[in-house]
Structure 1
């Protein structure tokens, strides 16, 4: 297929979803993103993929602006749009967000960001769209109706969709990402095109099984990628250590590392550890050494209790070497307590580069801004390897 398939990325973040499509040879026409540092990361990445200065298009705009369609039009200059991808920010759909809000976040303006997505979709009428969101979307409500039903109804006017929400849930772990991350991936095909959305879902090939896969789901698949395979080559360090750029040579390669790092690469970016107070360091050490939950820590070492004892067990969590990581979240930028390094000698939470590795970002991916900004971008992103599995399937059906 000589002509490249084109896409627009909305709510693009730092470009995790775009990354998967770049890897499959798709061409980006523009990205729309509100966050300044994420926009900088997007621009650097386009340069990395060989886009010329005048082709690098990132609209640093609020998607709800009245003139957003005009701005996108100006960027894409009458070129044909094959694909619209992106996921509206999902805090208001997440169960955690809803729990904290008296009104179940029904008044949250972010609930309606999908209306901007819909408006842009109906204007450009691409052949296919990919809409990504948290699984909380499936239980969230807008007024009396389930949010997902509202979205299906609205996006289904001009597009064929699958009806069964369970089939829209993909787990990044099944695609070789060293992380359990379930996301709703809604794929629509423009009515009149002879492709069924089912074909696209069937073509998103699971290459790995996950820790909860039953026997028959494991047949002909590789075992999930572990935290150890993803980050154990990275230099050990204590809290507060690390530099923006260091020299690093991988001594022992594995299948996963060869996907995220090039064999001749000798530098490592953003492997910088947060500083931690004495009490947290003791917590991390005891928990990772003994593989304790926070609750077990409090029972066995009451002196390490937290003043604001948030007992729900996920306030401090160790990642284990022999398992995939738990879902990397944007909350990482506030504190890393849910991502305690498995090596107790390091007494720390994970670095931005470790988080990026667990999300399947390539090592040459540059995240702009402060460490806080980097954590935020990484935590909000779609894992590139999962995005690539989706891109592969779409390329195959559109190629026909």
Structure 2
């Protein structure tokens, strides 16, 4: 079976190509734009040591914003944390992978500086609206984070039908989010709280693969190798 043909591309990447029929990638705003804000933020607040730092990070950025190479304050060393640490969705970009077992500061988080609701997580995973699960937040996110997006199954099923049975689909994809015409401006960011100002300073960047804090030395008869 051949790979399905490309249908979408990064916005602007095909400018000037008069023969390209590729649509722009769908964004987090395409998926979530019509969902109302939850009536309560109970269970959606970000706690822990770093929760109050998230409002100071712009949409589409993560903790790297607060490094010497970012646009914020130098609070962390470059690439010394996981990519998803304090990661925030952008209305103008596709969503990053939903984590099945996130820590208190592991995103992606909503651009309103909160955790994503069950309905929002379902939208990002392209599940049909109205899905109900009878479990708590931890188990619910584990299931959704481990799930394969429903849209992938739809795309592959249509491609199998086309390639193996020579039957072209007669309708558009049903599970893909609609492309919304206008995207609101990014949310405003705040300054960092006083509890984080003590971290401002020069921080060493990650030394590279196999050289982090957890690296261990393994000594062979004639070889010394650093792993980690």
Q: TM-score range by the shorter chain?
A: 0.5 to 0.7
Deviations 1:315-346 (A, max 9, x none): 221111111111223234x4462212113xxx
Distance 2:57 2:80 in 1: 16
Offset from partner CA, 1:112-158 (integer Å, 9 cap, x none): xxxxxxxxxxxxxxxxxxxxxxxxxxxxxxxxxxxxxxxxxxxxxxx
Q: How far apart are the structure 1 equivalents of 2:48 and 2:99?
A: 25
Confirm or deny that 1:338 pairs with 2:138.
Answer: no
CA contact (8 A) 2:47 2:104 kept: no
Matches within 5 A, 1:40-51: none
* Per-residue Cα deviation, 1:285-305 (whole angstroms, up to 9, x for no partner): 11137x653133366456x77
Q: 1:282 to 1:218 in 2, by over 3 A?
A: farther
CA shift digits 1:20-44 (9 cap, x unpaired): xxxxxxxxxxxxxxxxxxxxxxxxx
Answer whether contact 2:32 2:120 (CA < 8 A) is retained: yes
Query: Which residues in structure 2 correspond to 1:198-213 (within 5 Å)?
Result: 198=2, 201=3, 204-210=4-10
Cα offset for 1:314?
3.3
The answer to which structure has the higher strand fraction is 1
Give the Cα–Cα distance (whole angstroms) in 2 for the partners of residues 381 and 218 of structure 1: 36
Q: In the alignment, does 2:63 pair up with 1:294? A: yes
What runs of 5+ residues in structure 1 fail to find an aligned partner?
Answer: 1-196, 242-272
Match of 1:227 among 21, 24, 28: 28
Tell me the TM-score normalised to structure 2 length: 0.57
Instruction: Tell me, yes or no, if the aligned pair for 1:319 and 1:342 is still in contact at 8 Å.
Output: yes
Contact 2:125 2:149 in 1 (8 A): yes
Which structure has the higher relative contact order (CA within 8 Å, separation 6+)?
2
Q: How many Å separate the matches in 1 of 2:104 and 2:19?
A: 35
Match of 2:137 among 371, 374, 381: 371
RMSD: 3.4
Higher helix proportion: 1
Looking at structure 2, the residues matched to 217 and 340 of structure 1 have their Cα atoms a distance apart, in angstroms, of 37
- Work out the CA distance in 2 between the residues paired with 1:394 and 1:386: 12
Aligned pairs for 1:230-269 within 5 A: 230-237=31-38, 240-241=41-42
Distance 2:47 2:104 in 1: 12
Q: Distance in 2 between matches of 1:217 and 1:328?
A: 36
For residues 391 and 379 of structure 1, do their structure 2 counterparts lie closer, same or farther at Cα, with a shift above 3 Å needed? same
Q: Deviations over 1:173-198 (max 9, x none)?
A: xxxxxxxxxxxxxxxxxxxxxxxx23
Distance in 2 separating the partners of 1:324 and 1:366: 24
Contact 1:316 1:340 in 2 (8 A): yes
2:179 corresponds to which residue?
none
1:312–1:380 CA distance, 2 compared to 1 (3 A): closer
Measured after TM superposition, the shift of residue 282 of structure 1 is 2.0
Q: 1: distance between equivalents of 2:89 and 2:19?
A: 23
How many residue pairs are counted as aligned between the two chains? 161
Query: Which TM-score applies when normalising by structure 1?
Result: 0.35
Q: Distance in 1 between matches of 2:90 and 2:18?
A: 23
- Sort the Cα spacing of 1:367 and 1:399 in 2 relative to 1 into closer, same or farther, 3 A: farther
Please show how residues 51-70 of structure 1 align to structure 2 within 5 Å: none
Question: How far, CA to CA, are the matches of 2:44 and 2:83 in structure 1?
Answer: 22
1:369 is displaced (CA, Å) by 2.2
Q: Give unpaired runs (5+ residues) of structure 2.
A: 167-228
